[in-house]
Structures are given as C-alpha cells and as structure tokens.
Structure 1
C-alpha cells in the first residue's frame, strides 16, 4: 500500500513539472512572436524629412510626405517626422488598423501644418 501511494505522489509531481514546463515554453514562444517595430527618419532635398517603419528589420512603410497633405510636402523637421513615426508605431502595436492612418486632427495636435 505504501508503494502504491509513492507511485501516485511521483506521478502527481511528474504531471506538475510537465504542466509548468509547458506553460513556461508557451510563455517564451508568445514573447518571441511580438514583432519589433522601429523607425528611421531621413532627409530628402526635394521633400524635406520623411520616415520609414520597419517590422523585424524589414521595411514596412516608406513615408516621404506628410500623410493627408496636399501635394508632395515632407515634414519640415526631423522631430516632426519622428513624432508621426512614433504615433504610427503606437497604432500598429495597439492593432488599431491593418494600415495605420493619421488623421488631420492628429497632425494638428502634433503641431504639424499641411500645406
């Protein structure tokens, strides 16, 4: 009878270890699935400043002009381009839309004028 109880105890411990290691493995793989989203600003003589958005070091969006602006005007400063790039990344991380858009109100709130 005592040997039978030990078998149950060892079996229970093995099940607990299996469950814990499976949970830890799932946690590690789900963390690895989160994409790394970064941006780089750049200067173009003809268009001023723009930005690129990268997902896992792969170019996803190339934005040489101010979104929603008439004509082909770029941002007047690197800071403005970086501000909107960070806003786009925030929207991507929040899964707001498949292709994040920037509204005129958002541009206005960031102090960016569209000519």
Structure 2
C-alpha cells in the first residue's frame, strides 16, 4: 500500500523589531506564519533579543529543528549559550 506523500515544507525566517527596541522573529512554513517569537525562548520573562543578529541566529536554529521534524522545536538555555545569546 502506498503512503501519502507529505508536502515539502519550505521554512523562511523574518526578524522583526519589537516596540521596546528589541527583536523577535517569525518562521513561516510555505509562506504561512508558523511561529511568532517576540521574545527570547528558553528564558524566563518576555525580553526580546538585543540585536537582530541574535534573533536571526536563534531563528536559524529553530528552522533547522523544524526541517529535521523536531516538534516542538524548543530552545534550551545551553543552546542559547552556544549561540552567544
């Protein structure tokens, strides 16, 4: 019996500024928003990323987890440390 073909997911990342001057990110799957992350995941509180580059690096990590089928694509404090965040 044939298995149904899973649609290919194309994940894109967009860094967005927050009203307080910090940054967050949005990851879209096939052009539709999948994850909206205005603050640093894996840390207490609701503080955004200090730089757009830090948001981009974290979003790239989450995107790589999504591509590998890891759900949920949680981010640990150790992973943030390894990214220099």
Bin for the TM-score computed over the shorter chain: 0.7 to 0.9
Structure 1 gap ranges (5+): 1-29
Partner residue of 1:101 out of 74, 78, 84:
74
Structure of higher RCO (CA pairs closer than 8 Å, 6+ residues apart) = 2
Q: Kindly indicate which of the two structures has a greater share of residues assigned to strand.
A: 2
* SS at 1:50 equivalent: strand
Aligned partners of 1:75 and 1:81 also within 8 Å: yes
Large movers: runs of 4+ above 6 Å: none
Larger radius of gyration: 1
More helix as a share of residues:
1
**What is the alpha-carbon root mean square deviation over aligned residues?**
1.5
Q: Which runs of 5+ in 2 are unaligned?
A: none
Q: Distance in 2 between matches of 1:78 and 1:85?
A: 10
Q: What are the Cα deviations for residues 21-70 of structure 1, in whole angstroms up to 9, with x where unaligned?
A: xxxxxxxxx6x821110010010122610000100000000000001222
Partner of 2:27: 53
Mapped to 2, the partners of 1:94 and 1:35 lie a distance apart of 11
